Structure 1
């Protein structure tokens, strides 16, 4: 299980939203590069970046900051937010970003997703953000009639490298992941699923290990690592040790 720290960019700052509400944002850092380095130093093997300004406006806004973060890190970076045409995806990947995350276009232009998956194999990930099982688009400001499980199946067939599934009602709430929705979605596709939204403790991450056999291979952690509810280094160790932690350390699977 890979634990992936998240940085959400809004106005150049690191923030977290509550249930995707732009009016309920909290700034956790004014230097995204320093924050990213902090997570890398604590053992992160990948960084998740979201351009919230871009998601809202329809095109990337924080590319200069994203470029600085990608250049400063040794670990791969995946980025989403406002990527709604080929030019923007190509531009983002040219900055050294390993994977581009597509959201709105997966609903509105699925054929474009298929084309990009062929052009950039292994580098296109689809983010499915669900509100009551329906896919939300345009920075979570609109909710479609498309079922999350249905969209996941279509994107897997088009060649997406992975699906990032976010339960909007859990995001930023520290209430724990929606295990049943994750189980249902992962069971229906044959590509990796990344759990996102609601992680509040190391135990939540350990619980997600139960879904690893059906394809939930990693989890994104946001607010909890900023509030201190989750220590990133400890979390990575917990899901790596499984049931055989070093002597004297806490056994989360007991």
Structure 2
């Protein structure tokens, strides 16, 4: 299972929100590029970068920081936040993003998702952010009348192979992931799942790792790393032990 540190960008800074709320923001660094290098130096094999300003406004805003991160690290980076047209996808991939995460557009323009998957394959990931089972869009400010499981099934039909699934009520809370919902999404869709939201301990990581046979291939960790409740090297050790077990 991959352990993927999160870097959330807002006004050029590395921040974390609680439940996606702007009034519950904590700034962790004025230098997101340095943060990206830190996680790489500590052994991260992927990074998850989200342009929060882009998510709220509908178009990426932190281009300089995204460009800086992609230039500064050697490991693959997946980027999301406000990506709603093909030109932006192309630009991000040309800058060196390994994956582009589509969120709101999956609801408002699913045809674009299909086109992106046809053109770029597994470089396209869909982010499904759920609040009480319903999909939240536009920076989580709007709840769509679409069930998260229904959307996942629709995206699979359009060619999507992998989704980032976030339980909004857990995000940034350090209350632990919603394991039952993650398992339900994995079992019902048979998509590759990147779990996100609420991870706070190594026990949480082990619980998610146990779902790997269901397709849970990775977990994004944000606030737990910044708040110090999880040490990245310890988290990566869990992944290494798992790989060794598989080899044996």
Q: Are positions 1:168 and 2:175 aligned together?
A: no
Contact 1:123 1:161 in 2 (8 A): no
Q: Are positions 1:65 and 2:61 aligned together?
A: no
Aligned pair count?
245
Aligned to 1:25: 25
Can you give the 5+ residue segments of structure 2 that lack an aligned partner in the other structure?
A: none
List per-residue Cα deviations over 1:185-229 (Å, max 9, x = no partner). 111223210000000011110111121111111000000000100
Q: Are positions 1:76 and 2:76 aligned together?
A: yes
Aligned to 1:55: 55
Contact 1:117 1:159 in 2 (8 A): yes
Residue 244 of structure 1, CA deviation: 7.6
For 1:210 and 1:134, the matched residues in 2 are separated by 26
Q: Is 81-90 or 4-13 further displaced after alignment?
A: 81-90
What aligned pairs does 1:154-233 form with structure 2 within 5 A after superposition? 154-233=154-233
**SS at 2:210's partner residue?**
helix
For 2:227 and 2:129, the matched residues in 1 are separated by 23
**SS at 2:238's partner residue?**
helix
**SS at 1:75's partner residue?**
coil
Aligned to 2:139: 139
Detail structure 1 runs of 4+ shifted over 2 Å in the superposition: 242-245
Aligned to 2:102: 102
For 1:83 and 1:244, the matched residues in 2 are separated by 37
For 2:92 and 2:107, the matched residues in 1 are separated by 21
For 1:3 and 1:215, the matched residues in 2 are separated by 15
**SS at 1:173's partner residue?**
coil
Contact 1:126 1:160 in 2 (8 A): yes
For 1:243 and 1:217, the matched residues in 2 are separated by 12
For 1:55 and 1:224, the matched residues in 2 are separated by 22
Aligned to 2:93: 93
Can you give the 5+ residue segments of structure 1 that lack an aligned partner in the other structure?
A: 246-254
Inter-CA distance 243–8: structure 2 relative to 1 (3 Å threshold): closer
Aligned to 1:248: none
**SS at 1:171's partner residue?**
coil
**SS at 2:5's partner residue?**
strand
Residue 243 of structure 1, CA deviation: 10
For 1:46 and 1:5, the matched residues in 2 are separated by 7
For 2:228 and 2:190, the matched residues in 1 are separated by 34
Residue 45 of structure 1, CA deviation: 0.5
